A and B are shown apart, each in its own frame.
Chain A
Amino acid sequence: MIIDGTYAIVLMLSIPVISGISYFFRHFREISIAMAFITLLFTSYVFLFNTGTYSYFYLNNINRYILICVSSIYVFSVIYGSGYHRKLGESKHLRIHMSMIGIFAFTMLFSLVINNLGLMWIGIEGTTASSAILIIIEGEAADMEAAWRYIIIVSAGLSIALISIILIYRVFGTLEITTLLSASSQPSQILFLAALFGIIGFGTKGGIFPMHSWLPDAHGRAPSEISAMFSAVLLPIAVYAIYIIIKTVDITLIFQAGVFFSIITVLFVALVMASQRDIKRMFAYSTMENMALILLGFVLGGVALFGSILIIMTHAFAKAGAFYSSGNLIESFRTRNMAGIQNVWGEQRFTAYTLILSTLAVSGAPPFGTFLGEFFILSALYSHGLGSVMAFLAILLVIIFLSVNYKVLKMVFSIAPPAFTGKISAQQISITGATVSVSAIFAFLFMVGIL
């Protein structure tokens, strides 16, 4: 290797931070995009390293894939954002926005690779501080309210996760993740508490019921490229933190708690999905469904764990595509309400394609990777002797699938008089197409044995 593993990881983490200085330059957009590309290059390089520890960092077969997703969505979002916010010109708001995206990407990458549970918590808490500012670029009262709810609910939840980390430190005497994952412990009340606080605390950030209430508000009000980053990569990082805690504790009661929280989250989504009117809130609830499935796969382990990785990767790109498509529609139709978005097929043919495909992908339609992932998770439930839970979950997934796709197809094919449509930038169109295309390849990679 040309650069040593530790240095490569440090460089990967440093570049998004350096991109923060783009604020001071006239060509801040170009600098941000270039830095995001370089970050992706270094992440791809890091991806090639063997799993294991690299000084203060570590790589395993889960965080490596999420790293690639984070860097890719970072690139896509910076490019999309530079088109989406073109009306802001060279304003201070946009400069801060572009700079903070880099800091936000850094906190996510740091949370994934740091080999210390306490510092991982700090990284995840750091994502809250860095991303709250990204929600309020348009400065509307509702944006401010959404950002506030995001800060206060997520921070309160993460404080509970910190209790979990304190308890783990008490039992194991270390917070080094690699040591925790290889340590053995006797089941105890304290470990159960640690895992429960961990699921509730990190579950707040990961959109797990009942601490999810910030999620539809923040996703709904954030600019589309930020909603994409939240949904595609930020939430899986929080769920990954739960995975670390569950693997550390590894007791039967927590297996049951993990299954319970996952199923109840999907049930909640199935109940509210049909009544959604706001296009981005609808996709935010869809994210909750996918996060619950990822958590379920992590809890079940084995083939379900692989299912979770497939969902993480496919969902990251597909959901980014769904949010980018939503952004294109919101810009064209000047509304977030799905009742006001009609005849997309006639008005925005390319966005109609990307919207339909991305929706099919996030809702688990074959042949997308999410379908395979869901299949693996359902079969793992059955093999754990939870056939009735599997059947119940399958019914809920079908309900959600029908609700989301019906609403999207209604928007696309409903006949309406020509509406005023704003012009979408070339960056937005190309990035939306690119993300949806990438989301389609994971099932193929799996079938040919590459993944």
Chain B
Amino acid sequence: MINQEVLDLIIAAIILSAIWAQLGTFMSHKVRIVTIQSILLSVYIIVLGIWNSDIELVILGILIIILRAFLTSTFLNAKLSPDQFVSRERFGDASFLSVVSILILIFSFITYRILFTPLGYETIGDGGFALLFQGLFLIGSRKSKFSQFLGYMEEENAIVMLGLGIISMPLVIEISVLLDVLALLIVSTVIISDKPESQVFEEMMG
């Protein structure tokens, strides 16, 4: 019972980190928040793996720390300006964004309960579904390519959580997904470094 409560606490912390990432303006802070989120997720997986004596989960958790938490933040930080005010994101009304984030959170909790009821309720799955929508909102609501990529990272974390709630995928698939995301990150940093914000081109309309 206590064990489950500890795990639920980690899930709550992951969701809080997603809300925090919505509201942060300094990009270096945001990268740190998503790194913390990935570490929390890997801690969850490692603890679950130890309790269930599942070595595959432990390996997955360790790989998430190395590939997603450590390498990702290293790549992204390398592209950020050392002056945090230079890489500060400017967006509209923070209070509006926070309200929308909370509404999306409530919507995702309700939707999960309606859609995934036949599979039985799992807190980690519910948390993953909520994080998925937070990631999508981060991608859709920002012009900063860094923010959009962090939204994508949240989405990938969400898929891992959702997968744990539904069924653990074979380790080879999980590792390949992690490596795929890393490859995508490397390609993305090449593109991000040119113009850090999305632009509007007349020729790309219509």
A and B are partners in one complex rather than unrelated chains: yes
With CB as the reference atom, state the residue of chain B lying closest to A221: B204
Is A118 in contact with B118, judged by CB distance below 8 angstroms? no
Additional A-B contact list (6), CB under 8 Å, known A122-B180, A145-B204, A163-B159: A122-B177, A132-B188, A159-B156, A175-B170, A193-B116, A275-B206
Residue B110 CB within 8 A of the other chain: no
Residue B162 CB within 8 A of the other chain: yes
Closest CB of chain B to A341's CB: distance in Å? 14
Is B149 in contact with A190, judged by CB distance below 8 angstroms? no
Closest CB of chain B to A140's CB: distance in Å? 10
Q: Which residues of A contact B156 (CB under 8 A)?
A: 159
Residue B163 CB within 8 A of the other chain: yes
A128-B192 contact given A145-B198, A156-B152, CB 8 Å threshold:
no
Q: Which residues of B contact A122 (CB under 8 A)?
A: 173, 176-177, 180
Partner of A166, one of B145, B162, B180, B206: B162
Q: Which of B160-206 contact A (CB under 8 A)?
A: 162-163, 166-167, 169-170, 172-173, 176-177, 180, 183-184, 186-188, 190-192, 194-195, 198-199, 201, 203-204, 206
Q: Which of A111-137 contact B (CB under 8 A)?
A: 116, 118-119, 122, 125-126, 128-129, 132-133, 136
Is A189 in contact with B115, judged by CB distance below 8 angstroms? yes
Closest CB of chain B to A301's CB: distance in Å? 27
Is A166 in contact with B199, judged by CB distance below 8 angstroms? no
With CB as the reference atom, state the residue of chain B lying closest to A162: B159
Q: How far is the CA of A190 from the CA of B115 in the complex (A)?
A: 8
Partner of A170, one of B119, B132, B136, B170: B119
A156-B206 contact given A133-B187, A141-B199, CB 8 Å threshold:
no
Q: Which of B137-166 contact A (CB under 8 A)?
A: 139, 145, 148-149, 151-152, 155-156, 158-159, 162-163, 166
Is B136 in contact with A156, judged by CB distance below 8 angstroms? yes
Q: How far is the CA of A216 from the CA of B195 in the complex (A)?
A: 21
Is A220 in contact with B203, judged by CB distance below 8 angstroms? yes
Q: Which of A281-298 contact B (CB under 8 A)?
A: 281
* Chain A residues within 8 Å of B, Cβ to Cβ: 116, 118-119, 122, 125-126, 128-129, 132-133, 136, 141-142, 144-149, 151-152, 155-156, 159, 162-163, 165-167, 169-170, 175, 188-190, 193, 216-217, 220-221, 272, 275-278, 281, 336
Q: Which residues of A contact B167 (CB under 8 A)?
A: 166, 169-170
Is A151 in contact with B139, judged by CB distance below 8 angstroms? no
Closest CB of chain A to B159's CB: distance in Å? 5
Q: Which residues of B contact A163 (CB under 8 A)?
A: 132, 159, 162
Count of chain B residues with a beta carbon within 8 Å of a chain A beta carbon: 44
Is A141 in contact with B194, judged by CB distance below 8 angstroms? yes
A152-B118 contact given A122-B176, A167-B166, CB 8 Å threshold:
no
Q: How far is the CA of A142 from the CA of B200 in the complex (A)?
A: 9
Q: How far is the CA of A136 from the CA of B195 in the complex (A)?
A: 13
* Chain B residues within 8 Å of A, Cβ to Cβ: 115-116, 118-119, 132, 135-136, 139, 145, 148-149, 151-152, 155-156, 158-159, 162-163, 166-167, 169-170, 172-173, 176-177, 180, 183-184, 186-188, 190-192, 194-195, 198-199, 201, 203-204, 206
Closest CB of chain A to B190's CB: distance in Å? 7
A-B contact pairs, 8 of them (CB 8 A): A118-B173, A125-B184, A144-B191, A151-B188, A159-B155, A189-B118, A190-B119, A220-B204
Q: Which residues of A contact B149 (CB under 8 A)?
A: 152
Q: How far is the CA of A336 from the CA of B206 in the complex (A)?
A: 14
Q: Which 8 A-B pairs have the closest CB atoms?
A: A118-B173, A170-B167, A129-B183, A122-B176, A125-B180, A129-B184, A144-B194, A142-B201
Closest CB of chain B to A337's CB: distance in Å? 8
Closest CB of chain B to A258's CB: distance in Å? 20
Q: How far is the CA of A206 from the CA of B111 in the complex (A)?
A: 27
Is B206 in contact with A118, judged by CB distance below 8 angstroms? no
A129-B162 contact given A141-B194, A142-B204, CB 8 Å threshold:
no
With CB as the reference atom, state the residue of chain B lying closest to A218: B204
Q: Which residues of B contact A146 (CB under 8 A)?
A: 204
A132-B118 contact given A146-B204, A155-B152, A220-B203, CB 8 Å threshold:
no
